[in-house]
Chain A
């Protein structure tokens, strides 16, 4: 077994026993990157020198006996999280030359825990998209079929984990951007409860929906990474003042008697039959493990996509106003101030970002605010209430993560609405602020991964991890690797 193919838990064990050094691990990971990155294009920036320096430091800490949770573990970071001194582009031309003079809270925590930054991964520009085809630089390929997309917007992170170009990664999820690519790439991805992980240093797309989470090779690694990045941060007032449990303690617990909600609204016509049957098979698997499936209803599910595209674009139109060419990033000089603004933003942003800025600006405009933004906030409350009601009856909810497996490049780029529907099963979770996880639950006849989504109560990531781990251990899906 090559070092690059190992996950966090395995590498931790080997490093702690002195069987391997951090330098050997990063060397192995970079040899893998050198071998497959040309095909996958998971990364935007590969800070090779910094990575090796961090590994050296990890080895010194290991021999000094001051190792921490992530000492020596190579983690890829989605390129919308600020890393001090390392370019942070959001895969946008407008931030191509932006090097943050500060560190995001999550990467500060990872540094504190001794990690090695393998590189910054590709995304749909400003995390707006479901395929990485909206990246201002290049499209990442799905390691299972390089003619297909890896999902998005954290497609770079998911592909890097699936292609063994890192041991784990961080993604961000506004409407499914961790879970959908994890599903399409056959790896584990969790969006924690809104407020569980600090957003400080995460370049904002939609502030009330964005949340950072782990993308890993297995459920245990997910719990380990979540332990490192969670917690109240005085720099983010929306981070919640709740205690952070040891998430790894949830691993290995029994699911006997656990009530698993199956919402009828998530098993719809037009869904890929192979996805449908894989998810139903997974539910039967849970039953065999002693869990109890319960039919439930989330009646406002049908409004989720519309609600999301009003709220997310409204917030985005404001969040992206700062990219005006005045202070940092790309500037196109115009004949006067207004012209400079217009040319900078016209040349700096890609078409999808512009589309969303326009949608959001419209929704917030005087005379339309009540009909769009305000109405969407009201519907958001209804969607949240749906979950609260169901969670009085069940412990977790199980759904497909994505209605289809990975689609072909270019298949949906001409039709933004088709692309938006790729997130139909993941969006409600962000609107409600609850946690969700995607775990591998099968393959299509074309050997493409299928993902199972588990949704939990607010701040109950533990039950999600317990259920996911029990399911993972009873299947072999997570052991399959793409042939590259």
Chain B
């Protein structure tokens, strides 16, 4: 039998605000444990939360970018449970009245564009972290992360394969990074993903029983974990069993999901409206201002890159995944670079060099004008494409201008026929035997002569002129 999988994702994105969601403590990652805490995020008696306006703005920004409706009435709610990293004994979250509802994002899978519905986006505070070190008789609690603002982005069960889920995650990350609301780093925990998965015989309308898979903490694992879980559920059904509603944990070391708790063991969080915070009624004017300040989003940008610059789809896609990359590209065009050439150099040499050093475009030592200027030198015939490779690396390493490098290193291409002719004569004189073989019809030996001449001219000969001269002299 053929099966279809039905997947919905709940994604937690850490907002990149400077301060926590309900107090003024810093959100900086990696500080001394408990150094970024105050009476509010430690949950001392009598303290009260006050909403960080920036966090609200970020959530609205995200909602607008994902085509959601911004709720005219939104509220926080308390999610009650006991855990040492949860200082108040409840998490301030949203339940009945999330800030954003009913949107979508588009993904492209195997050339097809598909819409994934967004059920809701809500705000909440992060918990702290329990650290288990030492002899095991006790644990440590670090509350630096307690109160860091999160968005939970809940998708509709519109995802039909592990591949789609992975594309969806990548798309969310791209949008969040474009908006500047989340750094999108899954490995550092600023993007976390829980998945609800069920399977059903292909063509069936009703949903099957779903399992929730938690702890998918890397982009690499999104696809792997879901593929595993889909196969597991199919196996259960094919062996005559039933999928049970439960929460499962992805174990990346073993590459499997394992049962964590069943439906019966599920927590009763006793949600109720947070009485310490007043309901949110975001003013339409403010929402409009936020909408007006949204950057051009990746889908629109990609379309524009193909129509405006005539880039192939593949190039446009690659250059718009990250906003700084797209910006780098467009600045280089503005500086006079020819679009396809800029794209080729960026996707080839530049990305290779950056990757080697594990660097991002945001701290790329090469500026967009560097590339544009170099491309002009190629167009003018000052340097050859081959020399350009050397110039490019040199620009990258030193930050010098292309022209300066060409001048200082004497890399100017020689197109002067008499200068080239002299070398050509020398090379043919030196290699009489090969010359005769060429004349006898061994055409491929032309490469040998080009190589020898280039070597003698330190690669600076205009390859076209050289070629013509060689053929003339050898015939």
Contact = CB atoms under 8 A, between A and B. Distances in A.
| A-B interaction | yes
Nearest to A94: B45
Interface in A283-335: 314-315, 317-318, 320-324, 326-328
A201 B47 contact: yes
- Chain B at the A interface: mostly helix, strand, loop or mixed? loop
Contacts of A81: 46
Given A237-B51, A318-B89, A203 B45 contact: yes
Interface stretch (A6-14, A360-368, A417-425): A360-368
Contact of B48 (A199, A317, A361, A366): A199
Contact of A318 (B45, B46, B78, B87): B78
B39 A204 contact: no
B252 interface: no
Contacts of B271: 364
A326 B39 CA distance: 14
A82 B40 CA distance: 13
A200 B39 contact: no
A235 B38 CA distance: 13
Given A207-B276, A237-B50, A337-B84, A100 B270 contact: no
B319 interface: no
A207 B47 contact: no
Contact of A200 (B46, B80, B88): B46
Contact of A361 (B51, B84, B88, B270): B270
Contact of A341 (B39, B43, B50, B82): B82
B277 interface: yes
B294 interface: no
Given A324-B89, A364-B272, A235 B50 contact: yes
Interface in A65-105: 80-82, 88, 90, 95, 98, 100-102, 104
Given A238-B278, A314-B272, A321 B80 contact: yes
A237 B48 CA distance: 8
Interface string B13-50: 00000000000000000000000000100111111111
A321 B90 contact: yes
Interface footprint category on B: 20 to 34
B141 interface: yes
A208 interface: yes
B173 to A, nearest CB: 33
Contact of B88 (A82, A322, A364): A322
B288 interface: no
A202 interface: yes
A82 B90 contact: no
B19 to A, nearest CB: 14
B268 interface: yes
A137 interface: no
Given A318-B90, A321-B88, A337-B84, A90 B48 contact: no
Contacts of A407: none
A322 B271 CA distance: 16
B275 interface: yes
A82 B46 contact: yes
B272 A373 contact: yes
B46 A202 contact: yes
Nearest to A98: B45
Interface of B: 39, 42-51, 78, 80, 82, 84, 87-90, 141, 268, 270-272, 275-278
10 contacts: A82-B46, A237-B48, A238-B278, A318-B90, A321-B90, A322-B89, A327-B42, A327-B141, A341-B82, A366-B270
